[in-house]
Structure formats: C-alpha cells, structure tokens
Chain A
Amino acid sequence: MAKAAKNNTLKLKFDTINYAPAPESKSSATIDAQYDLFINGKFEKPLSKKYFDTINPATEEKLSSVAEANAADVDKAAKAARTAYDKVWSKMPAKERAKYIYRIARMIQERAREFAVIETLDGGKPIRESRDIDVPLVANHFFYYAGWADKLAYAFPNRNPKPLGVAGQIIPWNFPLLMAAWKIAPALATGNTVVLKPAETTPLTALKLAEIIQESDLPPGVVNIITGAGATGAAIVNHPDINKIAFTGSTDVGKIIQRAVAGTDKKVTLELGGKAANIIFEDAPIDQAVEGIINGIYFNQGHVCCAGSRLFVQESIYKEVMRKLKDRIATLIVGDPMDKNTDVGAINSKQQLETIHKYITIGKKEGLEIFESSCTLPKKGFFCKPTLFTNVAQSSRIAQEEIFGPVLAIQTFRTDDEVIEKANNTPYGLSAGVWTDKGSKIFNLTTKLRAGVIWANTYNKFDPTSPFGGYKESGFGREGGLQGLGTYLNV
C-alpha cells in the first residue's frame, strides 16, 4: 500500500427540515362552491338567505360558502328532528338503528382519504394527523357505538333505559369531524335524534358527513346538520324542542349555556377547556417522556382541550429534559399542512393566532424565559412557532389560562406532594400525564390528581371505549365508552 487510502466517505444533503415536498393530492376531495343546511334529509337553502366563507388557514384562500342558519332555520331543523324521533327513530328496533350506524362507519372508512384532505384544508391540521388519527378514530367511534345500540339493557341492567329525544350538539373547530362523531354516534345508538352545529371556521367535514348520512338512507330528520356561528348555537340551546345539549368548546361559552338552560328540564353535558399538567419524574423513561411532551403540546398545533400545556419536570433531570426537548423541537417540521412530512400545521384562524400571540407577549412581559423553534414560517397563512416558557410561576398567566396553541409552560418540582398540589391548583381538570417507571407512583398520582383523564407514560391517547370528560371548570358528563351512553338516556 503505497499512498494513503482515499476517503470514500460521501456527504450528501438529507436535510430533515428540507425534505423534498411530498404533498397529499387534493384530487380525492371535492368541495362544492356553496353548501346549504342539511335538514330533514335534504340540503336546503337557509331561510336567513345568508352565507359565510370558510377559508383554508394555511393559505387564507376561500374554500367554500356555507349557509348561516338563523332562529327560523334552527326551528325547522329541531322540528324535523322531533318528527323523526316521534314517528320513526324511537319506534325502530335497536338492531335496525345499529345497521345504519355501521353503514355510516363503513362509508367513512371508504372515503377516509377525502375526509382527511378536507379536514386538513379547512382546519389547518397536518395531513399526517387527519389521516392517521382523526379519521380512523371517527370510524371507530361509529363502529363502537353501533355495537351498543341493541345492548343498552345490558349496559344499565334493571333500569329500562330510554332515549331523551332531540339532542342539540355544538362542536368546536379543533377536531371538527371527530367531535361530530363523538356526538352523533352515541346519540343515534341510544335512540335520540340530532341537530348538530359544527364550528364556523371548520364546517366542511361535517357537511361531507351529511352527504354520507344522506347516501346511507338514514331516515330523514334523524341527523340534521346546520351551520352558523354563536347566534345559531344560542338558538339551538334555547329551542324548546331540544331535550339535551351536548357542547364541546370554551369554558366561557359553557357558562353561558349553563345559565341558558337553568330552570329548563334540558339535560346538559359540557366538555370545556383545560390546562393539563404533564408530570415527568426522575425515574421516567426520558426519551419517551420527551416525545410525550411534544405530543402533549404540539399535537394539532396545541388546539387540544386536553393538551399537556403545563409541564412539571423533577429538578434532578431538568437540564437533560430541556436539552432533549429543545433538540426535538428543532426537528419538528412546521408548515404546509398538506405535506405528508409536516408535524405542526396552521393555526385554525386569524383570531386564534392573535390570542396565542397575546399570551406570548404576556409571557415575555412577565419576564419568563422564552424558547422558540428556529423554523421559518410560511409567508402566507396563520402559523406559530412551537414555543416554550421556562421559569414559570404558578401565578403566571401563562400557567393559569388556556392558550389553545403551541405554547408550553415549564415548571420544576422537588417532591410528589408538591407537584400534586401544583397540578391541582387550577380551575380546570380535564386531563393530566404522569411519567415514571414506578407503578406505585402512578397509582398514587392518579388517585390524587383531580382530572378526568390521566395518562401514564403516554399522552393524548384516545379510544372510543374510554370515557373522556372533565372536573371543575373543564365541564361535566362523559363521552366515550359505556359512560358516554348514560348521558343520552333516562335511566
């Protein structure tokens, strides 16, 4: 061997932040230029004669015009639901009801791609999430509750459960189709009829679901889907034909609904805001916990009521967790929600982006240390860098109020009792996360944390069989699982 061997090491660009674009095709989805109200099995022009635009938050381009239902439209929908309940749905054998719900579930699966694409276009969430999480869960919810329809007597033995009548359902913009499924599936399985209103910024997948419901030959009026903003929602809440209100959304609106139904015999379930504690102990599997922090707060741009927005790290591992967390944030791909590689998509609306910016400003003013992803944001559309604040105090507004965006507040703790006290020190109580290798510690924490859902060594896991709902100002009533049936029945 005469000369020094040559170097055969190749260096090529394989840069994660700049993976070649991998856009999901829009061709599988058809969006009409205009959508009417789905009442009594037909798409009908609104009596209000008004329409509003729904835009793609990633491009700010208009996707479609959607009817705005006024009180007269709501009345029409509620009457259709009442008639369908009295004449058809309440008399139909439960086994037959189940067949319709199964059919809807299968049709959703068949058109899963179309639903995922529209969900992403209309709401801004990454296609990875709408494709792999939202839409499969939607189908699962219908399948699960279809199974319960003819077994209600077994769910509530010796009780002779009876449906409530017409359910008015108002859902938020963070999981538009999934929330529609959470509401419609148990209502139908228990023999109720439905008037559902999707959020005004994300009405399209619910309207697509209306198309499926129409094709499924579900008797007219059993499910009515009407669009509009707050006034439409108020008309539903106040309508005398409505027997039950199921609402998912902000705590402020939840309180308004509570006031509105006071003195009526309407039943109510509310699933409201949250400010969940995600607690990492020193004996936790740290790399998986870091991933759990990421999934807890940056999943769906933080537009998750059960988001792990308060992080508590035991002080002995604080440095390690912070370093890993920052490294991980650097690999998050923020941008075009339609790109299959995008991890964090667009903020749902301009208004929500302003709210998030307001809180980031507050955090800075409070003198907290801020860390932001180094990513570059697209020029158009509503985007926010994954952000975290450290040195946060319990008294800081960042730690107290729900931001509903990709902003994490980090605190440290020393003892178990301390972290339990801090975690519970909030008006909310929707969810929490506990990360430790020690089983006994998990059980100690889960019995003492006042939250409806507590995840151990994982976060943001949803399943139709598992009940979901809050303590305190996070609402009441449970959705999902056997418990989700009870809130639609007189037992």
Chain B
Amino acid sequence: MIATQTIPDFNISSRIDQVGVEEKAKRFTTRSIKTETKVNGLKLVLNMIDLTTLEGKDSKGKVQQLCYKAQHLHDAYPGLPTVAAICVYPSMVKIAKAALGNSGVKVAAVATAFPSGQAPKDVKIRDTKFAVAEGADEIDMVISRGKFLEGEYNFVFDEIAAIKETCGNARLKVILETGELVTYDKVRRASDIAMYAGADFIKTSTGKIQPAATMPVTLVMLEAIRDFYYKTGKMIAMKPAGGISKSKVALHYLVMLQETLGEAWMNNHWFRFGASSLANDVLMQLEKERTGVYQSANYFSVD
C-alpha cells in the first residue's frame, strides 16, 4: 500500500487525445521484426502467456491437460520456455496447483464475481479469500464498472484496496474491462485508480466483452504505468487480454512495451498476454523460423 503517497484527484487524470494515441499505436506496427530479434521475441511471448480457460464447462481433465501444455508447449522444439501462468476459475485452482507442482508456472484465479463484478463487496472478498486459500499465486479481479461510470471513484478505489488486502502475498491483477469504459480518458482514469489503490497488474479485459485488448488501449495503460513509475518509483505490471491470437500482433505489443516502458518490463514478471490460442500460432512461427517451412496446425496440440 502507498500509505505515504498523496492520492491524486482522479477527476483530473491525464488527458488522452484519441487521434494521437491511435496514430502512435499504429506506428509500432510498422517496426519490422526479423531473424534473431523475431525468434527471441517469440520465445519471450510464449514465456509471457497466461494460458487461460474460463468456461462454465471447464473440467478437471481439461485443466490438467492445460497445465501439462503450460510446461510442454511443443516438445519437438527443444529449449522452449514454459508459459507464465495458468488462468482459471477459483474452483480449479487446487487442481492446477497440483498439476503444475514446482514448475515455476503460476496459478492465476479470476475472482470478485468475474466477469461482471455484479456482487456485493463481501461476496467478492469471500471469493478472493477462497481462491487465495486454494493456493492461487495471482488474483485477477474485475472493477465495478457501473460504479466507475457513475463517477463513484472512491467506491471503486476502496473495493480494489480491500481485495488487495485480502490477497496477502498473491499478486493482484485489476481488470478494467476497457470495452465497457469506451473512451481512452476513462481507461486512463481507471488505470490511475487501480494503481493508486494497490494493483500489482492492470489488465485490459475479461475476454468476455468486445472489444477486448487493443494496441491503443494498451498504450494508454502503459503510459499510465510509466507516469505512476515516474511519480512513485513503483513498477506496475501490465496484462492485455482477449483478442491477441497472432504472433505478429504479439510482437507489435512487445515493440510497444519496449519502446514505452523499456528493458525492465520485458519479462513475464511485468508483462503478460492473456490468451488461449496465441501459443499455437507462436509455435507455428517458431517452427517456420527453424525449418523454413510452415507446418500444418495438426502438428500442434490443442488443449
């Protein structure tokens, strides 16, 4: 907690110019990433993935398979890293934890009445407590978008702070659900609230609402992280989630991260991709770089 920090007036968060930020985000996509930079980037992307399954029909078997995949992305290609984490509902945390052992792969649990967040505060706290007690290393919470849009910033702030306290040692990711906030100014304001309230990560989306992660939205959040770092000296991590399924796009995100926040953020402690289908596309590209030819999707496991 930043007890000693002055909490700013969120009504006067930095302004964002829509045209400017979209133009800047587009500029990152003109970087041409080749050869060894590409291979390094792709491996880094794999290592930054939060492999996710968040469905009502999730079963023990599916989670276990996903956990195996997290550690063995594509054994035909030697020397690949593991993913960063597995992201599941709280009821699956124990199963995932057991399946991952001491592989280093974290278990992240979505909590606080994910994905809508439409529950009273005490229910959200209990949800979080349960996930932490089951062994979750990370908690992905959602903010109360209704309250935020009403302008009840103190409510949103207090809720995040309360969940952070409940998390204990687990790292807290705060999902803004940017698709429901609509404007970049609001994304920026929500980012500021989350960081000052104690978020370890800020995250774009649940993946259940469209649009989910976009490059301009992510850029607005990265710039918020940079400003927070300038002011407090504290690093905050970033997780774009939903809609990133192609290697090329993921590399553009890395370019944006590197050129906005720099080297210190270029690892899975400070940056994650919330994605389920991205990994296979990255693997396909890595195999292409290694062998010179594209392989059929049938050569990559679907978990």
Is A395 interfacial (CB-CB < 8 Å)?
no
Binds B, one of A59-67, A282-290, A361-369: A282-290
Query: Which of A4, A20, A287 is within 8 Å of B14, CB to CB?
Result: A287
Q: In whole angstroms, what is the CA distance A458 to B23 when docked?
A: 10
User: CB-CB < 8 A to A2: which residues of B?
Assistant: 102
Q: Would A6 and B32 count as touching, CB distance under 8 A?
A: no
Within 8 A of A (CB), among B75-112: 81-82, 84, 101-105
Q: In whole angstroms, what is the CA distance A217 to B288 when docked?
A: 47
Q: In whole angstroms, what is the CA distance A142 to B81 when docked?
A: 53
Is A358 interfacial (CB-CB < 8 Å)?
no
Within 8 A of B (CB), among A1-49: 1-16, 18-22
**If the complex has contacts A9-B267, A20-B38, A341-B31, are A291 and B14 also in contact, measured as CB distance less than 8 A?**
no
Q: Would A10 and B20 count as touching, CB distance under 8 A?
A: no
**How many whole Å from A463's CB to the nearest CB in chain B?**
14
Q: In whole angstroms, what is the CA distance A304 to B150 when docked?
A: 47
Q: In whole angstroms, what is the CA distance A13 to B36 when docked?
A: 9
Chain B residue nearest in CB terms to A331: B259
Is B15 interfacial (CB-CB < 8 Å)?
yes
**If the complex has contacts A9-B268, A283-B15, are A20 and B36 also in contact, measured as CB distance less than 8 A?**
yes
Q: Would A285 and B35 count as touching, CB distance under 8 A?
A: no
Q: Would A5 and B30 count as touching, CB distance under 8 A?
A: no
Binds A, one of B40-48, B50-58, B240-248: B40-48
Q: Would B254 and A285 count as touching, CB distance under 8 A?
A: no
Chain A residue nearest in CB terms to B16: A285
**If the complex has contacts A16-B259, A288-B16, A458-B20, are A10 and B104 also in contact, measured as CB distance less than 8 A?**
no
Q: Would B35 and A20 count as touching, CB distance under 8 A?
A: yes
Q: Would B102 and A13 count as touching, CB distance under 8 A?
A: no
- How big is chain A's contact interface, by range? 35 or more
Q: In whole angstroms, what is the CA distance A335 to B32 when docked?
A: 15
Is B223 interfacial (CB-CB < 8 Å)?
yes
Q: Would A285 and B43 count as touching, CB distance under 8 A?
A: no
- How big is chain B's contact interface, by range? 35 or more
Chain A residue nearest in CB terms to B42: A12
Chain B residue nearest in CB terms to A2: B102
Is B181 interfacial (CB-CB < 8 Å)?
no
**How many whole Å from A322's CB to the nearest CB in chain B?**
12
Q: Would B15 and A284 count as touching, CB distance under 8 A?
A: yes
User: CB-CB < 8 A to A397: which residues of B?
Assistant: none
**How many whole Å from A373's CB to the nearest CB in chain B?**
14
Chain B residues packing against A (C-beta within 8 Å)? 14-17, 19-21, 23-24, 30-38, 40-41, 43-44, 47, 81-82, 84, 101-105, 223, 230, 254-255, 258-259, 263, 266-269
A-B residue pairs in contact (CB < 8 Å), sample of 30:
A1-B102, A6-B104, A8-B47, A8-B82, A8-B104, A10-B47, A10-B268, A11-B266, A12-B41, A12-B266, A13-B40, A14-B258, A14-B266, A16-B259, A19-B33, A20-B33, A20-B34, A21-B34, A22-B32, A283-B15, A285-B15, A285-B16, A285-B17, A285-B20, A288-B16, A288-B20, A291-B24, A341-B31, A437-B15, A457-B17
